[in-house]
């Protein structure tokens, strides 16, 4: 529900703030006063295309803002939640800014959005009738939705949608299985080869590092042997090495102790060095003896390391990754070997879902045909009261078929639903968009909304041309229908008829005035004497004539709130 509209620098509007209420809101005023300007401004926050020519002369930009109550609109609340927006005080603020340069911005709750986002959100909030750019009745998908709501088909349509999407996924899975059938044998051979190649290698974690260490030793055998020989000769006592001199030094140190017993610590240090070198010589001797050059061993290690590197290059950066790849190949091979079973299961499930889909489609189609017969009769009855007695209305439902004549299913069934009219006796039925005028579209939607009012989630209806070409008893009937509808929906209506205006819960008068040598459009809520004068003006053009005022007073007492 629209609670407030704030307009800056739009057409003849300098700055305007209008509050709207639940029930029937009417906008009246002299021709050219700017009523349609207000509807145009409202259209901008509904996502209509902006024209920079409508920016007020002398201004660089125009800004249109709307405060919209969404607390009782589940579709809008779901959209807002999906887009990460929080609702404060049951309402949201929509703001549209358009610059002279043509650039513009859209904000919902201070968050920027695209124009297409705004149109999507506005589709849950408002229905504007009278301007073809924003008429849900011209959208064929809405015909199906309206029929389903009237006929109580929405739950079954939801079940069908779930089956339809499930079938699409199953067919996609089946196509994938069939596509893999051609590669199945090749993949089995490839996987089996990989598994055998890795298993035959009998890899062990870390063995490549041990092989590289041993290869380094064998590849440098001569240099290593030479260095070990020099180390051994330089330290072993039998070769006149360091131990020989250390033994002599120990003997001399014994003489030092006899002379100076206080140097025991130095003697101990020398003994420690002797024994340390003695142990070292024994160890280096054992290591020197263990080194044995074996060309066959060297060749074997090189071959093993080459094999490991080859496997790592093909299957992973480490031996661990190669072994993981082997395990993965086992799993993939098992899955591929179960392909035939998967294919049969998928085929069986597709057959089952297709059967369910056909059954649900037939049931849904039957419900729609019955609902269509009742709906078109009721709408024709409503149209008679709304001044369109010669119009015939038809809810056209037919199966969608392909070139072979087989039924084609959409996400919501097999039916193509379209509202059609014959505006005059003897004329064939045609699509609404082809022959219906703005006023006719508005009255047709008024008839539909009157019938479907309780099942339609959109809470605000905007009628711009609903009273075009009507008067007398028809005008009274249109006013009555609007008033009845406004008990459940917020109605915003531009009207030139006093018999409609008197029924308003909120009467807004629009007028042009001169302000500081410029023409501006103003709007104010009128009550009491001002409202009586406006009704009198609408009746006879004379807002102060005694007869007109008396007639206005009678209408307000009879139909007013």
CATH number of the domain where residue 503 is located: 3.40.50.300
* 487 is a domain residue: yes
* 54 is a domain residue: yes
Do residue 222 and residue 322 come from a single domain? yes
Average pLDDT over residues 243-249: 87
Do residue 85 and residue 187 come from a single domain? no
Give the whole-angstrom CA distance, residue 467 versus residue 388: 12
Do residue 187 and residue 325 come from a single domain? yes
pLDDT in tens, 156-192: 999 999 999 999 999 998 888 887 776 777 888 888 8
Average pLDDT over residues 290-313: 84
Give the whole-angstrom CA distance, residue 61 versus residue 415: 47
Q: Could you say which of 296, 321, 337 is where a domain stops?
A: 337
Do residue 188 and residue 330 come from a single domain? yes
Confidence at residue 134, expressed as pLDDT on a 0 to 100 scale: 43
3-state secondary structure of 153: coil
* 514 is a domain residue: yes
Give the whole-angstrom CA distance, residue 477 versus residue 485: 12
Q: pLDDT tier at 390 (50, 70, 90 boundaries)?
A: confident
Q: Could you say which of 337, 355, 373 is where a domain stops?
A: 337
Q: pLDDT tier at 133 (50, 70, 90 boundaries)?
A: very low
Query: In whole angstroms, how far apart are CA 184 and each of 195, 332, 339, 347?
Result: 16, 11, 9, 18
Confidence at residue 474, expressed as pLDDT on a 0 to 100 scale: 77
* 476 is a domain residue: yes
Do residue 46 and residue 114 come from a single domain? yes
* 550 is a domain residue: no
Do residue 305 and residue 237 come from a single domain? yes
pLDDT in tens, 430-480: 887 776 566 667 677 778 778 877 666 788 888 876 777 677 777 888 888
Q: Could you say which of 310, 337, 364 is where a domain stops?
A: 337
Closest C-alpha among 166, 143, 30 to residue 509? 30
* 542 is a domain residue: no
Structural domain of residue 306, as residue ranges? Answer: 183-337
Do residue 216 and residue 74 come from a single domain? no
Cα–chain center distance at 85: 13
Q: Is the pLDDT of residue 301 over 60?
A: yes
Do residue 96 and residue 212 come from a single domain? no
| Count of the separate structural domains present in the chain | 2
Give the whole-angstrom CA distance, residue 108 versus residue 56: 24
pLDDT in tens, 74-126: 888 989 999 999 887 889 999 999 999 889 999 999 899 999 999 989 988 88
pLDDT in tens, 326-339: 999 998 888 777 77
Share of the chain above pLDDT 90, in %: 32
* 428 is a domain residue: no
Do residue 119 and residue 265 come from a single domain? no
Confidence at residue 132, expressed as pLDDT on a 0 to 100 scale: 46
Q: Is the pLDDT of residue 68 over 50?
A: yes
Do residue 197 and residue 118 come from a single domain? no
Instruction: Provide the mean pLDDT of the chain.
Output: 86
Do residue 305 and residue 226 come from a single domain? yes
pLDDT in tens, 346-375: 999 999 999 999 999 999 999 999 999 999
* 516 is a domain residue: yes
Average pLDDT over residues 502-507: 94
| Neighbour count for residue 45 (Cβ, 10 Å) | 26
Do residue 332 and residue 471 come from a single domain? no
């Amino acid at each position: 529900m629209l609670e407030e509209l704030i307009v800056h620098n739009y057409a003849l509007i300098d700055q305007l703030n209008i509050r709207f209420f639940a029930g029937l809101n009417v906008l009246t005023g002299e021709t050219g006063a700017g009523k349609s300007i207000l509807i145009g401004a409202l259209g901008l926050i509904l996502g209509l295309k902006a024209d920079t020519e409508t920016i007020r002369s002398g201004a660089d930009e125009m800004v249109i803002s709307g405060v919209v109550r969404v607390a009782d609109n589940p579709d809008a609340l779901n959209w807002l939640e999906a887009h990460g927006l929080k609702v404060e005080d049951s309402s949201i603020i929509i703001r549209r800014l358009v610059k002279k340069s043509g650039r513009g911005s859209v904000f919902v709750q201070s968050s920027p959005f695209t124009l297409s986002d705004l149109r999507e959100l506005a589709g849950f909030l408002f229905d504007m009738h009278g301007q073809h750019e924003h008429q849900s009745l011209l959208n064929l998908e809405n015909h199906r939705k309206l029929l389903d709501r009237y006929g109580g088909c929405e739950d079954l349509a939801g079940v069908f949608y779930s089956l339809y999407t499930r079938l699409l996924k199953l067919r996609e899975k089946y196509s994938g299985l069939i596509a893999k059938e051609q590669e199945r044998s090749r993949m089995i051979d490839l996987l089996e080869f990989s598994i055998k190649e890795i298993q035959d290698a009998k890899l062990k974690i870390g063995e490549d590092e041990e092989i590289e260490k041993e290869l380094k030793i064998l590849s440098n055998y001569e240099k290593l042997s030479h260095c070990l020989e020099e180390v051994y000769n330089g330290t072993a006592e039998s070769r006149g090495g360091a131990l020989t001199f250390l033994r002599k030094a120990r003997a001399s140190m014994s003489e030092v102790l006899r002379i100076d017993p206080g140097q025991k610590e130095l003697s101990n240090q020398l003994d420690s060095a002797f024994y340390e070198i003695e142990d070292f010589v024994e160890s280096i001797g054992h290591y020197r003896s263990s080194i044995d050059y074996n060309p066959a061993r060297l060749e074997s290690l090189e071959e093993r390391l080459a094999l490991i590197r080859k496997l790592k290059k093909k299957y992973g950066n480490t031996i661990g990754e190669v072994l993981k790849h082997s395990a993965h190949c086992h799993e993939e091979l098992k899955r591929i070997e179960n392909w035939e079973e998967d294919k049969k299961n998928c085929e069986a499930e597709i057959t089952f879902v297709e059967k369910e889909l056909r059954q649900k489609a037939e049931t849904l189609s039957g419900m729609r045909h019955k609902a269509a017969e009742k709906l078109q009769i009721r709408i024709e009855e409503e149209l008679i009261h709304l001044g369109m007695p010669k119009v015939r209305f038809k809810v056209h439902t037919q199966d969608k078929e392909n070139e072979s004549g087989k039924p084609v299913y959409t996400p919501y069934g097999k039916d193509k639903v379209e509202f059609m009219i014959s505006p005059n006796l003897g004329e064939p039925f045609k699509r609404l968009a082809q022959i219906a005028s703005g006023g006719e579209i508005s009255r047709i939607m008024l008839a539909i909304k009157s019938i479907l009012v309780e099942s339609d989630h959109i809470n605000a209806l905007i009628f711009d041309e609903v009273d075009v070409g009507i008067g007398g008893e028809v005008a009274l009937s249109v006013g009555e229908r609007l008033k009845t509808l406004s008990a459940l929906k917020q109605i915003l209506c531009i009207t030139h008829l006093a018999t409609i205006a008197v029924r308003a819960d909120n009467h807004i008068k629009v007028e042009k005035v001169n302000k500081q040598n410029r023409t501006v459009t103003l709007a104010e809520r009128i009550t009491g004497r001002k409202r009586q004068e406006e009704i009198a003006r609408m009746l006879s053009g004379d807002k102060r004539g005694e007869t007109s005022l008396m007639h206005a007073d009678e209408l307000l007492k009879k139909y007013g709130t």
